[in-house]
A and B are shown apart, each in its own frame.
Chain A
Amino acid sequence: MSVNVGIPKVDGIGLVMGKPGFTDDLAPADCLIVKVLRSPHPHAKILNINTEKSENLNEIKCILTYKNVDDTNFSRAGQGFPEPSPYDRRILDNIVRYIGDAVAVVAGTTEEAVDLAISMIIVDYEIFDFIIDFEEAKSNKVIVHNNNGTRTMFEIGHKPEINLAAGYEMEIGNVKKSLENCDVVYEGRYYTQAQAHAMTEPHSAVAYIDFQDRLTIITSTQTPFHVRRILGKTLKLPLSKIRVIKPRIGGGYGGKQAIHGEFYVALIALRTNMPAKLIYTRKEVFESSYTRHQMRIDIKIGALKDGTIKVIDMDILSNTGAYGEHALTVLMVAGAKTLPLYNKVDSVGFRGDVVYTNMTPAGAYRGYGAIQGNFALESAMDELAELLDIDPVILRKQNMIKEGETSEIFEIMGEGQEGVAMTVESCKLEECLLKCLEKLDWKNKYPRVEIDEFKVRGVGIALAMQGSGIPYIDMGSSILKLNDDGFFNLLVGATDIGTGSDTILSQMCAETLGLPMDKIIVYSSDTDLTPFDTGAYASSTTYVSGHSVIIAAKKMIKEIERVGAKYFDVEKVEYKEGFIYSDTGKISLAALSTKLFYSDNQEQLVTVGSYVGTKSPPPYMVGGVEVEIDKRTGKVDVLNYVAVVDCGTTINPNLAKIQVEGAILQGIGMTLYEEVNRTSSGQNINNSFLRYNVPTRMEVKKIDVSFAKSYEPSGPFGAKSVGEIGIDTPPAAISNAIKNALGVRITTLPIRPEDVWNKIK
């Protein structure tokens, strides 16, 4: 048995023992050092840029400015094609739109020379007014993208003239009427902040021209195939001239879905014929990559006296910063991955604007709208329960989605387009809820336990759902190649960014072939060697890429049986667990494969599997938390976070558990500690790990993750996704716990000690 077994990651021991595997580890020693001159202004026009003095330095080999690069508009979002994000960005532009935007790129043989060259570039700026406050951005007199050729691939509500990157609206039933007919309506306004991904490996890219005169890029990316496509299209290079290699990746969480330094190193390698590398400084990672979308969410939720929820309405304002990467899709997910939780309503309203501001752009980040929407919805559920005088657990139980049910939202709202109708075939929310409450000791702890004069403890819960890939868009594929001695190369386009996808895909392959894991040698991903995969995002790898592996492996069994029959000269043989059986005898795959190469019926066996999801079965989760609050300071400590997850079969229970534990801590970070702080001109002021508060091990008291027994009929071996679901519940669960402890509702993230203290003083 290889599936549902917690074996170590195939690359684990190598990584732990420090084997070189990351982008910077693999860079040629003679790489040009590439650095970026960045804008000190939030909004300005470059009137003139003088690089002459810098160019005269011997060590400097290439300088890029807007003057000498193509002015094609594109989206660096790293999505499928056609992209749902606006084409509002250029490789380098003569307009800078946030502090940290790229102005010039310098490549030289030594770091000192590059630093010196950057300091010698003279830029004349015409400084423009800027807009930072996202609630003032729409129709502001400052226009972030003013006649710069920005366009979209299809209708996304893009109106740059009023600072709208995207917009969306939908209504099921009649929201107004349903609200009027409710006995009780709760209305609330919630704010979520920009959060930084804070992956430990900075964005890194290396480029060189190989011995076939082709551009090779090694890059810390979640989407190698999108990098190839976007790079080729924008640089007007045939895709056949580009190879993108994804090595080991030091964390992504969505932050490496988009393109970062790839354009710059590619152009420098092409122009100088020398290898080039750009490793972002930590400051650049914070200031010049992207963050989670800041949002304001207005929610209305109405119910009858008996607790039947009749209507939910969400109105969102989302801040995409200077560029509109993932503007529409993150907005839509805020509704699409939350509203179906309570599916027995008459009416649902959802609308939102995504505005441009002169700040570091927002982009993909684990949870991707769902965490923002969940904060509002699951906080509102507790508030509604209070208004109804019903236990919040009972209110949820009464209204939550159940196995065999559906929600109209599945069909109406997808990611950037319509969704797909779907019946929920696996949903163990009830089991998750019961188990979570039991583990939390809810019975004895709800709503609060006074510890002493100053300290009080409270418990809170939240439900969550996510998806498993984007149906009819996300595609994964695999190639399986039989070697002599009976082992296989499994080549997958799926992008392991530290999640363990190489391992779980190998497990599925080994399970299908009935072989031990050491017979499967997995490799991901290289656009020259591995087949296509959309990449590591949208919780798609286990579900979508997983299916492709099973398809390839099943085809391989047929191929083995075909050559086996030839070998035994019979009509039919049976393959089982590494052996081929016929009526006349048996042969091991190891022996047969060696004969296939060297002596008998010589032939190479290769199979391909590819898969596009036709649905996106949601994983579900109940998160429960016990917090302790010191009323003297407002400090909130998370004593225990209990997560019970329904992700279908856990292909590797250990890795699934760590995915959820890690996601929960990122969610706790967003709830209590993390925020990208900015000055009034949008300058990021906590641009280092010293000042940006990523939770450390000192903040972790107890995270208790377990899984409901669940099987998704449409999933590979019954699996759904697990990468994102874990991050969704902490904001609402902790906000609910604080409410239960102190009787006050905090509606703005992060919930800092001073926010709590101010509410209770």
Chain B
Amino acid sequence: MEVNLIINNTEFTYSAKKNEMLVDTLRKLGYKSVKRGCDKTSCGVCNISLDEKLIPSCSYLTIRANGKRILTVEGIQEEARVIGKYITEEGVEQCGFCSPGHVIAIYCMKNDLLNPTMDEVKHYLAGNMCRCSGFEGQHRAIAKYLEVR
């Protein structure tokens, strides 16, 4: 089925299979920041922004994304560098496999929540798994980022 995808402000006409998930489409089109981790919306490494809403792309059919605006970390490089500065200053990215999904989530959170408390931050990011870091460093980094932005 032919779909029209707007990925990071670039339009694509893409022929998607009926059961194709957005994570696979995005990776095929070269957006490798979108990782595949669990296929069950439970780790957050495939997170993207879809019409300004944070979603896991592993369980979102590509044909449903027809006409929608998709943002991946490749499309927010400037802001990713700023968020990344705080993350890397804590050393909390570690293996980095979950980092792009984490960064896009923080990016969406900044738009969704005004002056969030750390408790609200935790709830918002609860779907972003990280097995390396223990999360404390992530929270330190986010607190500093939110202070500045």
A contact residues vs B (CB 8 Å cutoff): 6, 8-9, 11-13, 15-22, 24-25, 197-202, 248-253, 279, 281-282, 497-500, 652, 654-655, 657-658, 661-666, 688-690, 694, 696-698, 700, 702-703
- Find chain B residues with CB under 8 A from A666 CB: 131
B48 to chain A, nearest CB (A): 11
CA distance A497 to B37 in the complex (A): 17
Given contacts A201-B35, A690-B40, A690-B42, contact A703 B100 (CB under 8 A): no
Tell me what chain A mostly uses at the interface: helix, strand, loop, or mixed.
loop
The 10 closest A-B pairs by CB, nearest first: A498-B95, A18-B33, A15-B96, A250-B97, A661-B134, A16-B84, A12-B88, A18-B73, A654-B91, A8-B88
Q: Is the CB of A662 within 8 A of B93?
A: no
The interface residues of chain B lying within 8 Å CB-to-CB of A654 are 89-91
Determine if A661 and B136 form an interchain contact, defined as CB atoms under 8 angstroms apart: yes
Residue in chain A with minimal CB distance to B39: A282
Q: Which of B111-136 contact A (CB under 8 A)?
A: 122-123, 125-126, 128-136
Min CB–CB distance B12 → chain A (angstroms)? 16
Residue pair B96, A16 in contact (C-beta under 8 Å): yes
CB distance from A63 to the nearest CB of B (A): 24
Q: Which residue of B lies closest to A15 (CB)?
A: B96
Given A22-B97, A497-B95, A12 and B87 contact (CB-CB distance below 8 Å)? yes
In contact, B95 and A703 (Cβ under 8 angstroms)? no
Structural contact, B95 and A199, CB atoms closer than 8 A: yes
- Residues of B with C-beta under 8 A to A253: 131
Residue of B with least CB distance to A281? B39
Alpha-carbon separation in the docked complex, A23 to B40 (Å): 21
Q: Decide if B136 touches A700 in the complex (CB within 8 Å).
A: yes
Give the one of A13, A655, A664, A702 with max B CB within 10 A. Answer: A13
B36 to chain A, nearest CB (A): 7
Contact present for A697 and B135 (CB under 8 Å): yes
Q: Does B72 have its Cβ within 8 Å of any Cβ on chain A?
A: yes
20 more CB-based (< 8 A) A-B contacts, given A17-B100, A249-B95, A696-B135: A8-B88, A9-B91, A11-B96, A13-B84, A13-B85, A17-B77, A18-B80, A25-B32, A199-B131, A200-B95, A200-B98, A200-B130, A250-B35, A251-B94, A498-B95, A662-B131, A688-B39, A689-B129, A696-B129, A700-B134
User: In whole angstroms, what is the CA distance A21 to B96 when docked?
Assistant: 10
Which chain B residues have a beta carbon within 8 Å of chain A's beta carbons? 27, 32-33, 35-40, 42-43, 45, 72-74, 77, 80-81, 83-85, 87-100, 103, 122-123, 125-126, 128-139
Residues of A within 8 A of B91 (CB): 6, 8-9, 12, 500, 652, 654-655, 657-658
If the complex has contacts A9-B91, A698-B126, are A200 and B80 also in contact, measured as CB distance less than 8 A?
A: no
Chain B residues, CB < 8 A from A500: 91, 94
In contact, A665 and B134 (Cβ under 8 angstroms): yes
How many Å from the CB of A406 to the closest CB on chain B?
33
Which residues from B are CB-within-8-Å of A661?
133-137
| A-B residue pairs in contact (CB < 8 Å), sample of 28 | A8-B89, A9-B91, A11-B96, A13-B85, A16-B80, A17-B77, A18-B73, A21-B96, A24-B27, A200-B98, A248-B95, A250-B35, A251-B97, A282-B39, A658-B90, A658-B92, A658-B94, A661-B133, A661-B134, A664-B134, A665-B135, A688-B38, A688-B39, A689-B129, A690-B38, A697-B125, A697-B128, A697-B130
Cβ-defined contact, A16 with B94, below 8 A = no
Do residues A248 and B125 form an inter-chain contact, with CB atoms below 8 A? no
Cβ of A201: which chain B residues have Cβ within 8 Å of it? 35, 37, 95, 97
Q: A250-B97, A661-B133, A700-B136 are in contact. Are A16 and B90 (CB under 8 A)?
A: no
- Which residue of B has the minimal Cβ distance to A660? B134
Cα separation A254 to B43 with both chains bound (whole Å): 20
Most buried by A among B77, B88, B134: B134
**B73 & A251 in contact (Cβ 8 Å cutoff):** no
For residue A197, which residues in chain B have a CB less than 8 angstroms away from its CB? 131
Cα of A689 to Cα of B136 in the assembled complex, Å = 21
A698-B122 contact, Cβ under 8 Å, with A202-B37, A251-B97, A688-B42: yes
Q: Once the chains are docked, how many angstroms separate the CA of A453 from the CA of B135?
A: 32
Q: Are A198 and B131 in contact (CB under 8 A)?
A: yes
| Chain B residues closer than 8 Å to A15, beta-carbon distance | 93, 95-96, 99
User: How far apart sit A197 and B80, CA to CA, in the bound complex (Å)?
Assistant: 28
Q: Are A658 and B134 in contact (CB under 8 A)?
A: yes
Q: CA of A6 to CA of B36 in the docked complex: distance in angstroms?
A: 31
Rounded to whole angstroms, the CA-CA distance of A253 and B122 in the bound complex is: 25
C-alpha spacing A251/B35, complex, angstroms? 14
Closest B residue by C-beta to A29: B28
Which of A13, A200, A657 has most B Cβ within 10 Å? A200
Closest to A12 in B: B88
Cβ contacts under 8 Å, A18 to chain B: 32-33, 72-74, 80, 99-100, 103
Contacts of A250 in B (CB 8 A): 35, 95-98
Contacts of B77 in A (CB 8 A): 17
| Distance between Cα atoms of A738 and B93 in the complex (Å) | 33
